[in-house]
Amino acid sequence: MAQLQAQLKRGLLEYLCDQADDSAVPLGVALKAFHRSRFSEIQSGKFVVSTSGAGKSVSFYIAAQGSQLQPESITVTSQEFREVFRTALVTLTAAGTTYDQNDAQYNQTILSAMLDDDRLQGVTSFSCDLGGLNE
């Protein structure tokens, strides 16, 4: 299963935050709804794309090999978002940040803390470990 790129995850998270703002709901509620909808799509083991009006025809999703946007990958990402959300709440509380779910800036405050989490960062550099080489 391919994992989603960090940039795609951050874009999806910002999209969900925008949707939450548009619907005037707290980001946590939007993440919970997203997670539930993704899980309900894969719980049977088959991802249904469409059905006919009478229910006599069903089309299933078959992901291209190596595709990032497989239903399972999106479901795993939705779980990761919920975990990052909980960490962001703890981090903000420990820093003394007060927030009110009815405040217009609530979602943006949480989103900023979530985007700072290492789990949503891409790899920006790497180094080689040559310590095991014998001379």
Q: What is the pLDDT of residue 58?
A: 61
Q: What is the pLDDT of residue 59?
A: 64
Query: Rounded CA gap, 131 and 114, in Å?
Result: 35
Query: Rounded CA gap, 85 and 103, in Å?
Result: 17
Residue 75 lies in a domain: yes
Residue 67 lies in a domain: yes
Q: What is the pLDDT of residue 41?
A: 61
Residue 127 lies in a domain: no
pLDDT tens by residue, 82-114: 999 999 999 999 999 887 877 878 899 999 999
* Residue 30, pLDDT above cutoff 50: yes
* Residue 17, pLDDT above cutoff 70: yes
* Residue 122, pLDDT above cutoff 50: yes
Q: What is the pLDDT of residue 3?
A: 66
Domain with 25, as residue range(s), is: 6-52+61-120
Distances (CA, A) of 29 to 23, 91, 94, 101, 125: 11, 19, 22, 10, 35
Domain count, the chain: 1
Mean pLDDT of 20-48: 79
- Per-residue pLDDT band at 63 (split at 50, 70, 90): low
Query: Rounded CA gap, 2 and 102, in Å?
Result: 37
Residue 88 lies in a domain: yes
Query: Rounded CA gap, 77 and 15, in Å?
Result: 14
Beta strands in the chain (DSSP E): 48-51, 58-60
pTM of the model: 0.66
**Residue 59 DSSP SS3:** strand
Residue 134 lies in a domain: no
